[in-house]
Chain A
Amino acid sequence: MLDDHLIGVLSNMGMISFIALSAYLVLVVGEISFGQQAFFAISAYASGIASAMWGWPFLGAVLWGAAVSGLAGLLLAIPTLRIRGLYFAIATLAFAEMVRLALEIFTYRVEVDGELVGPDGSEGFRDIRYIYEADISSGEFLLVILALLAVTLAAILWIERTRLGAMLRMVGEDPVLARLQGVNVNLAKIATVAAAGLIAGIGGALYAHLNTYVEPKIFNVMLGVHGLAYGLIGGLGTAFGPLLGVALDIGVLESTRAFSGYRMIVFGGLVAVLLIVRPRGLLDEAAVYRIRRFFVRKDAGD
């Protein structure tokens, strides 16, 4: 049906989309995070430990990984509440590097079926073999990724249509005004950063199980910057924005041979130019409003 290369590309796009969506959520409340890869990493390890070492089922391991990384988001959100802008961004960067360097030291190994399994510091974490033991094909795993992504996307889109979504956007636009309108700005930020941690965690758990092997240096700052850049390219007006960014980078730049070797130069230049001409991305609030009005007017005309 689909060839292996295409399945691989689509799986990568799906998993990276979780980081892009999580960075996007933080952008909606007006902050920049260079550190969403930390939650991806925490969940990759936590879910791998659950399935490979504790014998948990796959879905339980994914939920556990997401819960642990959501909790880590909460732990990051509370001390960083009073800092904003550049300071918040650098604090998230420091946090993510702390997590990565801590994983370089973290060792926890137990014997499973006569073999030592578990994270081994900078050697990484091998043998997260659940999907091979359960005989899940890469095509089936792609469906799992897409299903979880669809659920996450639907949840974000639904929240954006509610009063809560309007409150979050208000916090991002002007926190002082939002507070005067009776919005609990601190609670909104803490909840959003925790939710963003959880969403990145889903992606991390999927990544660990598809690759069967993770090591700390995968989760370096460039992964987080890519996740952030996807929202900025695709647009901050809707949750489809970051997905458009992922599609442009991985779908077009990485997967076609035309830019091989120059991908970073093209990608870097693209983002830099977009930040000048469209600082809130292709699908920014104004574009989303025009698209929505276009469809609504069409309905009214029928």
Chain B
Amino acid sequence: MADFLQNCLDGIAIGAAYALLALGFTLIFGVLRRLNLSYGPSIMAGVFAGTAAYMAFNAGLAEVAIATVIGAVVVGAYIERLCFWAIRKDMAVASMVSSFVIWMQIEEGVTLLFPDRTYAFPGILADSVVEFGPFFLRASSLAMLAIAALAVLGLLALIYRTHFGLAVRAVSENPEAARVAGVNTGLVTLLAFACASALGGLAGFLIAAGDQQITPLFGLWATFKGLIAMMLGGMGSIPGAVLGGLLLGTVEANALWYLGVETRDLIAYMLLFAVLTFRPGGLMGQAALMARRAAESRV
């Protein structure tokens, strides 16, 4: 039992990182109704921008964080223009494939600029541990959990309390009507994309600072973990992203402890497959999706 509880704590710690990644994913999906598979690689490119600042100028933590966020936003804007803005609105699947091939481009570009396997990244709170009786949690994980909670509140406030958020929701509901009502849909989409990339850059910075190192494989990891977490919670749902992240982390930590490292990832994909086939909208996803499927199958 004590093992199980400690596993759950470890799971919540890594789940906080998954939740942060899933939030950016879900924001992009919520606005565009399209999936950006290059989200992880854009964060990876940002983290490498941070590493470059750290190695070249011996920059401090704040500067590294800013470089990371700027790098992620710049690459994110490139993806938005090429894979989403330029492709017709009704071709959601073409955008997804396009974002997948741009992933290869980003990964090869970063590997050309940074040919070594791993690079150092400045750490924060990397070695300190918080204890609760017999259980313990890394301080960096606790910080990540707090920042994920803040990010959710900030995102909810941005989407539901500001004029920009109103425009984002209008574009998400019906881009045509939003345009007629005077919303600059292209700009709103680009800004929402930039917000998601900035959030991703922040997540990437916190994860890399916890690990104190970074590899180009981070892009693959970030996309898959964020994607699974978002799909578990339900695409486009902000609370769902957090729930999905924490669920994925907890399941993985227990699978790792009881079944071993190869089985851990297998279980994660089985969970994703099961959710997609039995409850495609995710745990907190839209009931509307299911209703439409049901209506179509009756025709």
By a beta-carbon cutoff of 8 Å, the part of chain A in contact with chain B is: 32, 34, 79-80, 82-83, 85-87, 89-91, 94-95, 97-98, 101-102, 104-105, 121-122, 175-176, 179-180, 222, 225, 228-229, 232, 261-265, 267-269, 271-272, 275-276, 279
Q: Which 4 A-B pairs have the closest CB atoms?
A: A268-B105, A264-B108, A101-B266, A271-B101
Chain B 90-122 interface 0/1 with A at a Cβ cutoff of 8 Å (1 = within): 011110111011111101110010000000000
Confirm or deny: B263 has a beta carbon within 8 angstroms of a beta carbon on chain A. Answer: yes
Question: Nearest residue in A to B224 (C-beta to C-beta)?
Answer: A97
B88 contact set on A, CB distance < 8 A: 279
A275:B94 contact, CB within 8 angstroms: yes
A232 contact set on B, CB distance < 8 A: 97
Contacts A82-B297, A276-B87, A279-B87; A87 near B100 (Cβ below 8 A): no
B131 contact set on A, CB distance < 8 A: none
Contacts A86-B96, A261-B112; A104 near B262 (Cβ below 8 A): yes
A279:B91 contact, CB within 8 angstroms: yes
- Cα A269 to Cα B277 in complex, Å, equals 33
A105:B263 contact, CB within 8 angstroms: yes
B277:A265 contact, CB within 8 angstroms: no
- Cα A113 to Cα B94 in complex, Å, equals 52
B104:A264 contact, CB within 8 angstroms: yes
A86 contact set on B, CB distance < 8 A: 34-35, 92-93, 96, 235
Confirm or deny: B150 has a beta carbon within 8 angstroms of a beta carbon on chain A. Answer: no
How many residues of B are in contact with the other chain, CB < 8 A? 43
Confirm or deny: B173 has a beta carbon within 8 angstroms of a beta carbon on chain A. Answer: no
Confirm or deny: B258 has a beta carbon within 8 angstroms of a beta carbon on chain A. Answer: no
B101:A272 contact, CB within 8 angstroms: yes
A265:B276 contact, CB within 8 angstroms: no
A85 contact set on B, CB distance < 8 A: 92-93
- State how many angstroms separate the Cβ of A118 from the closest Cβ of chain B: 18
Confirm or deny: B181 has a beta carbon within 8 angstroms of a beta carbon on chain A. Answer: no
A105:B262 contact, CB within 8 angstroms: yes
- Cα A117 to Cα B266 in complex, Å, equals 25
- Cα A275 to Cα B270 in complex, Å, equals 31
Confirm or deny: B293 has a beta carbon within 8 angstroms of a beta carbon on chain A. Answer: yes
By a beta-carbon cutoff of 8 Å, the part of chain B in contact with chain A is: 34-35, 82-83, 86-88, 91-94, 96-98, 100-105, 107-109, 112, 224, 227, 231, 235, 262-263, 265-266, 269-270, 272-273, 276-277, 280, 293, 296-297, 299
- Cα A272 to Cα B101 in complex, Å, equals 7
- Cα A268 to Cα B37 in complex, Å, equals 13
- Cα A263 to Cα B105 in complex, Å, equals 9
A272:B102 contact, CB within 8 angstroms: yes
Interchain residue pairs with CB less than 8 A apart (10): A80-B277, A85-B92, A86-B92, A86-B93, A98-B273, A101-B265, A265-B104, A267-B101, A272-B82, A276-B87
A90:B108 contact, CB within 8 angstroms: no
A98:B266 contact, CB within 8 angstroms: yes
B262:A122 contact, CB within 8 angstroms: yes
Which of B35, B235, B273 is close to A91, meaning CB atoms less than 8 Å apart?
B273
Contacts A176-B299, A275-B94; A229 near B101 (Cβ below 8 A): yes
Q: Kindly list 7 other residue pairs between chains A and B, CB separation below 8 angstroms, not including A86-B93, A267-B104.
A: A83-B277, A91-B277, A98-B270, A104-B262, A105-B262, A176-B299, A265-B109
